[in-house]
Structure formats: C-alpha cells, structure tokens
Amino acid sequence: MQEILQLLRTILRGVWTYRWWGLLTSAFIGLAGALYVMTLKDQYQATARVYVDTQTILAPLMKGLAVQPNMQEQIGMVGRTLVSRPNVERVMRTSDLDLTTKTPQERDAMIDGLMKSIQFAPVRGAANLYTISYNHEQPRSAQAVVQSLLSIFVESNLGNKRRDTEQARRFIDEQIRQYEQRLLGAESALKDFKIRNIQMMPSLARDYVTRAGELESQLEAARLELNQAETVRDELRRQLALEPPTLPATGMMFGSAGGSAFRSQYDDRINTQRQRLDELMLRYTEQHPDVQGVKRVMQQLEQLRAEEIKAETERAASAGTQGPGTVSNPVHQQLRASVTEAEVTVASLARKVRDYQARLAEAQRGANAVPEVEAEYQQLNRDYDVNKRNYELLLARRESAQMSTDIEASGGGAEFRVVDPPRVAPKPVWPNRPLLLAAVLVLSLGAGAGVAFLRDQLRPTFFDLRTLRQVSGMPILGAVTLVTDAKTNAAARRGLIAFSASALSYIGLFLAVMTWLSLRSLTT
C-alpha cells in the first residue's frame, strides 16, 4: 500500500511539473469542443399517439361465424414495416423533404437517415397505444413527417385487411370452382359405376355369398326331387314291362251290355300298394326299408295276379268258351299314362336343376367379383365424400370471409383513434448543450492531464533518491539539496497563482456558459 501511495505521489508530482502543458492542451480542446457544441443545429421532435381499439362489440357476437384476424399481430407487422424504404420515400414526397436533395446519393443518404431516426413503439403500460416520433431541424418538416407516417399507419392496416380479405376471397372462389369440377366428376364416376354394377351394388342387391348358399340348398333339394322322380319313373317302366298290353276275352268277361274286361281280385291291392310307393318315393330313396317292403309286396301281388290270369285263361280254353278274342289291359294303359306323367315330371325337374345350376354359377361369379366391386365402390365413395366435404367447407369459409368483409365495412373491425395529433415541442430536444459542455470540460481536463503525464514519461524528473536508485539500478553515494532564495520562492508563488487563476478562469468560463444556456432554456 505504501508503495502504491509513493508511486501515486511520484506521478502527481511529474504531472504537476508539466501543468502548463496540460492546461494549454485542455484549453485548446475545450474551446474547440465548445465551439463545435455551440454550432450544432437544434433538433425539434414531432410526436403523435394513436390508439387502436381491437375490442369491438361485434367480435364476441360473431365468434365462430366470421374470421377474427389477430389485430395485434397485424399492427405489429405494420409497425415493423412502417419505416420501410417505400414508405420512407412516400413520406419524403408528401413532406417535401426530397426537394432538399440534388443527387441520388444525397437522396439515399436522407432515406437512410430517416429510416434510422423515425421511431414507432408502443407506449409502456398502455395497451394498444402507440407513439410515432421524428426529430428534424425544421419543426414543420418534423410535423409533416409524423403526419405522413400516421396516415400510412392507419391506411396500411385498413388496406392490408381489405387486400388480405380480397386475396382470400379470390383464392377461395378459385378453390370452390376446382372442387366443384372434382365433385361433378366424382358424382359422374359414381353414377356410371352404379349403372355398370347395378346387380352387385351392396345397397341394391343381396349379399352374393348368402345368395350362393341359398341356391346351393335349393339345387340340392331339386336334385333330390329329380332322383326321386327318376326312381318312380323307372319303377313304373319296370311294371309296364311286366304288364301285358291285352287280356284274352272269355264268356265270363262279357255281360249283356257287350261285356267288360277281366278284373283280378289283386288289382285293388296292387293299386293301393302302388299309391303308397309313390308317396314313399317322394320322401325316401329306393334303399329305404319301407320302400323295399312295398316293392316286395307289389311283386308278390303281381305274381299272384299273373297266376290268376293264367289259370283263368286255361280254364276258359278248356271249357271252349267263345269270345271276341282279346281286350286291352286297363292296368297296362294306366301304367303307360303314369309313365308319361312321370317322364314329364322328370323333364320338369331336370330343367329346374339346370336353372338352379346356372343361377348358382352366376351367383358364384358375382361373389368372386364382389370384393373388387366393393373396393372400387368404396374408393369412389371416399373420393366423393372428400370432395364434397372440402367443397362444403370452402363454401362455409367463403360465407365467413364475406361476413368478415361486411363487418369491416360496417365498422366492426379495429378502430383507430388519434389520441395526440402530430405536434412539435416548442423547445429543441437536442442538443443538450449544458450537458455536452460539461462533457467537453471533463474530456478536456482529462486530455490535459494525459498530455502532462505523457510529457513526464518522456522526460522524467526524479524527486527522491529511492526512485533514482530503482530506475538506474546504481548505488547512490549522496545527494545535494537545492536551497532557494526569496526571489525564487516569490517567482514560484507567482507561477502558482497564475496557473490557479488560469485554470479557474477556464473552468469558470465553462460553468458560466453552461449556466447561461440552462437559464435560457428555462425562459424560452
């Protein structure tokens, strides 16, 4: 600590040695700085405040029906683009600032200066309140610039909203036309598909798999009926082959009316068994025990009948009975009629079986084609539904956009209120000459002290043996003390008084000018 204090004293003594150098430097810099400060042109500030009312009564009422733009974002965007180059050029034209430029370089420089000096910012602590400010040498020019900026700010917000709404409407109209064409195409494709596949439409025809199953059951039943009919026909053919077509005529076979055919005692029983066989064949097959039993009974009865006819014929021949010869066998005729009827039934059932087979084949082909048809139908339905949904959504958006336009036209959008019109402060806001002069004074004094210190470093003076020993590194054998006389001391005092008076005069001059400027700013 002691060494630091010793070093500080050494530096101060060195600076004091060249104090006149420092004072002259301070005076030169101070006077030059003061002259520059006094020649600075006054800058007048024009300001305006505008309030943007975004909370309208229609906003909550039209929520969900009309498009509600984010006014805060729009205003922020306009504020950021307010000092863009096109807007600044427009401001220059409206405020006649471009008349002061003669070359393109001067014009570009003025544009750059305007873009840097124009201020647009929200007021702290106040929502939706914005300030526009600009500084210029001429109060009227500053006010004209702020007025132009205020007009651009309001017009840009309203114009951007209208332009955005119009662009959105044109885009939506174009999309509606495109989706209308797509929807018509999808409807036409769906209609053509339904016409081509009318039999296999899921909504118009039965399920082909179920239908094929039903046809298989019906075909099986028809085949069973056909088999039964063929069995009955074959049995009737067999019986017909056993039955003689004619019977011999005897005296016993004819009566007074011309006679009648021979009738066996077994005919009724045979007919009864034949009817029972027909009934059983409709329900069972030939291998059924009941069917086999009836057939055996019929064979036995037919054999007995044949034996009876043979015995009667022999008896008639031995008796020598005369008759007309032979007569038609009514049983044979009845069997022929039954065979014919059975063949008709078989033919009808065979045709029925073929019809079921054809319908089953068609149903199976349809069942195989149904998945592909359903997939295509679902794809067409999806395309149609998507196009229809988008089309209806676009229609709703267009109505919403139209409603938003109507709201803006009726004043339901954001409302701009000029709280403070553009005005210029009567006093210049810059430069603050007292403050600048104080800075020049401090800077000049610091520069003077720096010059004195630099001079001491270039031509150092040793004030004690310790410093000399440290700098030279050589041993000090002794020292000679300077003894001043009264004349020298008087001259030193006069020099100190002159320096103090000069320094105080310099500082006092600055303080006087600063005080005068401050008083003038208060009185004007």
Average pLDDT, rounded, for the chain: 78
The better pLDDT of the pair 254, 269 is held by 269
232, 346 Cβ separation under 8 angstroms: no
Is the per-residue pLDDT at 443 higher than 90? Answer: yes
Task: pLDDT band for 209, please (50, 70, 90 cuts).
Answer: low
User: Residue 420: which H helix or E strand, with range?
Assistant: strand 415-424
The better pLDDT of the pair 59, 105 is held by 105
Is the per-residue pLDDT at 295 higher than 50? Answer: yes
Burial of 42 (0-12, 13-18, 19+ CB in 10 A): middle
Average pLDDT over residues 53-73: 52
Residue 367 has a pLDDT of 67
Share of the chain above pLDDT 90, in %: 12
Which residue in 140, 138, 139, 81 sits closest to 115, CA to CA?
81
Which residue in 198, 195, 193, 202 sits closest to 370, CA to CA?
202
Letter for the amino acid at 449?
Answer: A
Is the per-residue pLDDT at 280 higher than 70? Answer: yes
In residues, how long is the chain?
Answer: 524
Residue 440 has a pLDDT of 94
Average pLDDT over residues 36-51: 89
Is the per-residue pLDDT at 229 higher than 80? Answer: yes
What gap in Å lies between CA 17 and CA 19, rounded to an integer? 6
Three-class secondary structure of residue 375 per DSSP: helix
Task: pLDDT band for 84, please (50, 70, 90 cuts).
Answer: confident
Task: pLDDT band for 78, please (50, 70, 90 cuts).
Answer: low
Q: Which two tokens stand for residue 289?
A: 């025990």
53, 415 Cβ separation under 8 angstroms: yes
- Taking the whole predicted model, whether its pTM rises above 0.85 is answered as no
Report pLDDT digits (tens) over 338-389.
Answer: 888 888 888 888 998 899 888 888 777 766 666 677 777 778 888 888 888 8
Share of the chain above pLDDT 70, in %: 79
Task: pLDDT band for 259, please (50, 70, 90 cuts).
Answer: very low
CA atoms within 13 A on the CB side of 15: 16
User: What is the residue extent of each domain of the chain?
Assistant: 1-40+431-524, 208-392
The better pLDDT of the pair 523, 95 is held by 95
Residue 255 has a pLDDT of 36
Residue 70 has a pLDDT of 53
Residue 249 has a pLDDT of 55
The better pLDDT of the pair 221, 82 is held by 221
The better pLDDT of the pair 325, 389 is held by 389
68, 59 Cβ separation under 8 angstroms: yes
The answer for residues whose C-beta is within 8 angstroms of residue 358's C-beta and 6 or more apart is none
281, 291 Cβ separation under 8 angstroms: yes
Average pLDDT over residues 274-296: 81
Q: Which two tokens stand for residue 377?
A: 């139908």
Residue 206 has a pLDDT of 53
Residue 254 has a pLDDT of 36
Q: Which two tokens stand for residue 220?
A: 């099986």
Residue 437 has a pLDDT of 93
Residue 28 has a pLDDT of 95
**Phi-psi group of 462: left, alpha or beta (phi > 0 → left; psi -120 to 50 → alpha; rest → beta):** beta
CA atoms within 13 A on the CB side of 161: 27
Report pLDDT digits (tens) over 409-437.
Answer: 554 455 678 888 999 888 888 888 899 99
Q: List the single range of 149-163, 386-400, 477-491 with lowest mean pLDDT.
A: 149-163
What gap in Å lies between CA 348 and CA 335, rounded to an integer? 20
Residue 511 has a pLDDT of 93
Is the per-residue pLDDT at 395 higher than 60? Answer: yes
Q: Which two tokens stand for residue 416?
A: 């701009």
Is the per-residue pLDDT at 31 higher than 90? Answer: yes
- DSSP conformation class of 42: P
The answer for residues whose C-beta is within 8 angstroms of residue 102's C-beta and 6 or more apart is none
The better pLDDT of the pair 212, 165 is held by 212
